[in-house]
Structures are given as structure tokens and as C-alpha cells.
Amino acid sequence: MAEPATTRDREPLVLPADEHNRRLVANVHPPGWVNPEPRDRYHLLAVGAGTAGLVSAIGAAGLGARAALVERHLMGGDCLNVGCVPSKAVIRAARAWHEVRTASGRFGAPPVAGAGTFAAVMERMRRLRADISKVDSARRFADAGVDVHLGEARFVAPDAVEVGGKRLAFRRAVIATGGRAAAPPIPGLAEAGYLTNETVFELTELPASLAVIGAGPIGCELAQAFARFGAEVTLLDMADQVLTREDRDAAAIVQEALARDGVELALGVKIQKVTGGAGAPVTIEIERDGAARTVTAERLLVAAGRKPNVENLGLEAAGVETNKQGIVVDDRLRTSNPRIYAAGDVAGLWQFTHAADAMARMVIQNALFFGRKKASDLVIPWCTYTSPEIAHVGMYEHDARDKGIEIDTLTLPLDDVDRARLDGAAEGFLRVHVAKGKDRVLGATLVAEHAGDMLGELCLAVTAGVGLDAISGVIHPYPTQAEVVKKAADAWRRGKLTPTVKKVFGWWFRVFS
Ligand SMILES: Cc1cc2nc3c(=O)[nH]c(=O)nc-3n(C[C@H](O)[C@H](O)[C@H](O)COP(=O)(O)OP(=O)(O)OC[C@H]3O[C@@H](n4cnc5c(N)ncnc54)[C@H](O)[C@@H]3O)c2cc1C
């Protein structure tokens, strides 16, 4: 099935073509940019200037290597242009709208009425994105010693790529071409047309209604945000719950929050067909347990998984193998061509900016300095930025079960934490898995308004092997929501008191009285 043309296939034109987007493009794909003459064999050539490519190229140049970076569209990749940055700006605005609308009932604030200005939300997002884009700009990278080549890269040999008719030879290369929204095989979908993360941030008018296919992190985040702006949102998925990869209890809390915010959940459904679209509303025919019904919406957003960008790269000429997940890599991120590595979303391991960053750092060490760093040693946390957020690090209960590791699990509700109650944000919990009978933290899931910001302590615990015993001895400021971590550690400590120790304490207090 043909996928709709994306902005990526054309000259960089970021819509709407306003002052902010012109500033963005001037930074990340400057009009009139002249590619440098290729230098002698580059020590490291990065294909793709998303997080993985940017970090590997600038890191290598900083160490004195001849480094090149090739980008066909916008430097900064998905994260800056159509991913983390615009989505989090939009989510922040949606939270503000929600707070304002609910503040009267919750906090006795003056009541508000009327609609907000969606166009202003999107303009704020574009302004901030343009401001942030300086960090990923072609000029900054060139000034840091990286040869920035704008154009489509294609391998023409195991040790060379071609860009704009010029051959760039390399000792080592890293494929960092990322991914894009996958199109599910639904009859009529391509003909109806739909938004993806590449086009949704171009909107300047709030659609009255929005259907979202895919209840993963991107689908849930955007469904909730658009519902909070006042669109009638329907979230569809074939799974019978949202966020299937998360702890079930954590996902259930987010599911309730979505429903409370007015998102209509059409879960466990099979989508039969899409009709309409192309300027008119779309109609989605769905079926569940033999019962058919339709969902009609002004716009349709598809957020049903990602697909690696591996096409037209000349990978055969380079001897680089791929599979469904993307480029096949070993534990050191090396592809089937020992000169070429892969990092970021295209390597098919994780799909997060911080993971792309961590993999790029590994590539520098392994590719240029005979490093032996392993991807399997990385501890990669993640967070879904719904309200409340779900943040996770390390093992889930099912991971431990699959690996035959015995664990103890502690769950601490957020309403045991004073600050969470005072903030009116007591919905959620912290769940910590420790090695059975020990304090070693193997994994943790936190559901809270700012779970992502609160997870750092647990990431340190999992990464550096800091146990709950040590965390229980760390003094946390009162009252903070992050006290939930210490409270869980204290609960673990109390549970550690064996009957014998309790007996000894009982004896001591009798003697001491
Ligand atoms: C809506 C959304 C929200 C997200 N939110 C978060 C979040 O909150 N936190 C988080 O950690 N992650 C988030 N992500 C994921 C994050 O954006 C990605 O994990 C990250 O961008 C991956 O970086 P990358 O370098 O692997 O690839 P990308 O950022 O995709 O960059 C790849 C680059 O390669 C270029 N390219 C491709 N082929 C070629 C070629 N042949 N020649 C030259 N250049 C080429 C592309 O144009 C692109 O610029 C989000 C993603 C989406 C879609």
C-alpha cells in the first residue's frame, strides 16, 4: 500500500511557513548551504543527523577525528522537529488548559469560561522549537569541526557513501537514519489520508474531533492533549488496554485518566475499513466481539508503531543486513559490515532520544577506540508523558519471571505522600522490584504527575547498584513527591525486621524501661 508523501520527500518546507519555521529551517537545513569538499577518508561518517548521528559526529570531532554528518532533511531529526520537542510543548499547554478549567472546582480559583486559542499553543511550540534548534544547527556543528553534508546518503561501497554526486570515503560509519510512522494495513486508510507525527504539529486549527489509531505512548499523549484542548477524541486500538508494554496497574491508571479527560476509548477493536477523508470527515468501521459500529471524526491521526528508515540506503553495496526491526547489530552495535555501526531508532533496540544518545557514545568508543561496550549493559529508562506520567527503569515483574529471577515487590501508593495529596496529584504509585531477600533494585515503575523527573534516583539505584538500604538513609526534603522513593525504602526496611530481630528489640525495650 502506498504511503502518503511526507514533508521529508520534498525540499525542507516546514508548515506553516511562518517566521518561527523559517528560523528553524535556517538552523537545521539552511537554504543555500554549500557542502564542504569531502576530506580524506573520514574517521567517522554519520548517516542521519537525528540524536544518534549528531552525538556521534560531534563527539568524534571533539576527540580530534575527521567527522562527517549527512542529513537529507532537517538536522535534529524526529526529536527536535516532529517528536519529543513539539509534543512536550503541546502537552505542557494542554496541562495548563486543564489546570485552568479545573482549578475552580479543585482549588476554589475564579471560574473560567470560553475556548482557548489553539493557534497560540502551536505558535508557542514553533517558537520554542526554533529557539531550541540552534543546538542542532548546521552552523554549530560545522564550527565544532564536523563536515556537514546536506543531501541523501547512499552507500556505494563497503567504505564509501555518495551525497549529491560526491563520494565520501570512511574508515568507520554509523547508520543513524531513524524511523517513521508505520501505516497499518487497513483498507481505505491511504486513500482517506491521515496525520502522523510528521504532520500533526503543522496544525493551526483545532479539529472538532480526532480519531487516534494506536494507544501506545504517542497515541495516548496526543489523544489526552487534544481532548484537553476540547476536541472530541476517540482512541482506537486492537489491544484491550492502553500502553500494553507497561505494568498493567500503571496503564489502568492512565486509561482512567484518559477517560476522565473525555477521551472515548475504543479498545479491543478490529478496524475493518476507513472511508471519507480527503478534506471530508473520516469514518472508521470497527468491530468488537461480533458487534460492528462506526467512529466518525474530522481528522485521523495514526500512531500505530514505527518503521525503520532502511530503504534506498544502498545497504546491499555496503554489505549491511536488515530485518523487520531495522539494521541488524551485534551487542557492540556493529552491523554485518565490521566498518559500519548503527545507532538510534534504526538499530531496533529502543526508540528514545536518550537511548540514541547513549548508543552514539558507545559507537564512538567501539568504532574508534577498540572499545568493548555492550548495548545489553545499558540501563535505559523511559517515560510516557501522559497525565499522570508513567516512568519505568529496569525489569518488569514478567522480565524477572521470564529470566527465572526471584523478586520481592513493594508498592507504595502516592497518597501516602503528603506533598502529592497537597498538590492534588495523589493518583499513582511507586512499584519497586528487588532481588528476593535483598535490597538490590532490579526495576521500578512510577506513576505520578512528574514521574519522569522523579525517576532519576531509581535509575541511579539500578545502574550503580545502590540498594534500598542506602536510599532509606538518604534524607529527602519534606514535603516533596520524590519522598515516595524514600518511603518505599523505609517500607522495605521495616519488612526486613525478622521475627528474631523483633524479639531482640522487644527484649531490649523491656530491659531499657
Ligand atoms: C511524537 C513523538 C514523540 C516522542 N517523544 C519522545 C520523548 O518524549 N522522549 C524520548 O526519549 N523519545 C521520544 N520520541 C522518540 C525520539 O524522537 C526518537 O527515539 C529519536 O528521535 C531517535 O533518534 P535517531 O537519531 O535514531 O533518529 P531520527 O531522529 O529519526 O533521525 C534520523 C535522521 O536521519 C535522516 N535520514 C534518514 N535517511 C537518510 C539518508 N539516506 N541520508 C541522509 N539522512 C537520512 C532523517 O531525515 C532524520 O533526520 C518521540 C517520537 C515521536 C514520533
- Dihedrals φ, ψ of 431, to 5°? -120, 125
Spacing, Cα 148 to ligand 1 middle (Å): 18
The residue-averaged pLDDT of 190-203 equals 97
Which of 489, 492, 420, 426 minimizes the C-alpha distance to 458? 489
Ligand 1 near 180 CB (within 6 A): no
Tell me the pLDDT band of 497, cut-offs 50, 70 and 90. low
Residue 400 beta carbon below 6 angstroms from any ligand 1 atom: no
Is the separation of the CB atoms in 179 and 218 below 8 Å? no
Tell me what the pLDDT averaged over the chain comes to: 95
Residues 6+ apart with CB under 8 A from 499: none
502 vs 270, which has greater pLDDT?
270
The CB-based long-range contact list for 120-123 (8 Å cut-off, 24+ gap) reads 121/90, 121/93, 121/94, 121/229, 122/90, 122/201, 122/203, 122/204, 123/18, 123/20
Dist. CA 381 → ligand 1 center (Å): 17
3-class DSSP string for 182-220: CCCCCCCHHHHCCECCCCHHHCCCCCCEEEEECCCHHHH
Q: Given ligand 1 and candidates 9, 14, 78, which is best to mutate, with the most ligand atoms within 8 Å of its CB? A: 78
> 199: Cβ below 6 Å to ligand 1?
no
Ligand 1 atom at minimum distance from 70 CA: 43
User: What's the CA-to-centroid distance between 47 and ligand 1, angstroms?
Assistant: 12
73 C-beta closer than 6 A to ligand 1:
yes
- Contact 45 CB / ligand 1 (< 6 Å): no
Q: 340: CA distance to ligand 1 center in Å?
A: 19
Q: Whose CA is nearest to atom 10 of ligand 1?
A: 352
Query: Per residue in 417-440, pLDDT tens?
Result: 999 999 999 999 999 999 999 999
CA distances from 126 to 33, 123, 137, 290, 397 (A): 22, 5, 16, 45, 40
What is the whole-number distance in angstroms between the Cα of residue 79 and the centre of ligand 1? 5
Distance 173 CA to ligand 1 centre (A): 18
What is the 246 CA–ligand 1 centroid distance (Å)? 22
Residue 451 grid cell: 514521574
Q: Where are the beta strands (DSSP E) in 328-401?
A: 340-342, 382-384, 389-394
Within 13 A of 226's CA, how many CA atoms are on the CB side? 30
pLDDT at 138 over 50: yes
Q: Is 356 in the pocket of ligand 1 (CB under 6 A)?
A: yes
Closest by CA position to 403, among listed 413, 395, 412, 411 = 395
Which atom of ligand 1 lies nearest, measured to the CA of 54?
A: 25
| Buried b or exposed e, range 219-243, using 16+ CB within 10 angstroms | bbbbbbbbbbbbbbbbbbbbeebbb
Report whether residue 348 contacts ligand 1, using a CB cutoff of 6 Å: no
152 in contact with ligand 1, CB cutoff 6 A: yes
Q: What type of residue is 189?
A: L
Distance 52 CA to ligand 1 centre (A): 8
Tens of pLDDT, residues 377-393 = 999 999 999 999 999 99
Q: How far is the CA of 50 from the centre of ligand 1 (A)?
A: 5
- CB distance 178 to 171 below 8 Å: no
pLDDT per position as a tens digit, 285-316:
999 999 999 999 999 999 999 999 999 999 99
What distance in Å separates the CA atoms of residue 482 and residue 154, rounded to the nearest whole number? 48
| Set of cell numbers at residue 202 | 503543522
DSSP letter, residue 10: S
Identify which of 204, 245, 33 has the alpha carbon closest to the alpha carbon of residue 119. Answer: 204
Ligand 1 nearest atom to the CA of residue 73, by list position: 47
**pTM for the structure as a whole:** 0.95
The pLDDT of 67-74, averaged and rounded, is 98
C-alpha dihedral sign at 274, 276, 277, 280: negative
Q: Ligand 1 atom 27: the closest Cα is on which residue?
A: 178
Q: Check pocket membership of 50 for ligand 1, CB cut-off 6 A.
A: yes
Question: For the segment 121-135, what is each residue's pLDDT rounded down to a tens digit?
Answer: 999 999 999 999 999
Whether 5 has a pLDDT exceeding 50, the answer reads: no
Return the HEC string of 399-415: HHHHHCCCEEEEEEEHH
Q: Residue 204's Cα: distance from chain center in Å? A: 24
Closest CA to 82 of 216, 221, 201: 201
Residue nearest to atom 15 of ligand 1 (CA): 352
Residue 361 alpha carbon to ligand 1 centre in Å: 16
What's the gap in Å between 513 CA and the centre of ligand 1?
Answer: 66
Q: Give the Cα separation of 273 and 39 in Å (integer).
A: 53
Q: 89 phi and psi, to 5 degrees? A: -65, -40
Nearest by Cα to 122 from 272, 21, 215: 21
| The pLDDT of residue 74 is above 90 | yes
Band the pLDDT of 11: cuts 50, 70, 90. low
Atom of ligand 1 nearest to the CA of 53: 25
Q: Whose CA is nearest to atom 26 of ligand 1?
A: 344
Does the structure show a pLDDT above 80 at 371? yes
Please indicate whether residue 177, judged by its CB atom, sits closer than 6 Å to ligand 1.
yes
Cβ 125 vs Cβ 86: under 8 Å: yes
AA identity, residue 390? I
Mean local confidence (pLDDT), 61-70? 98
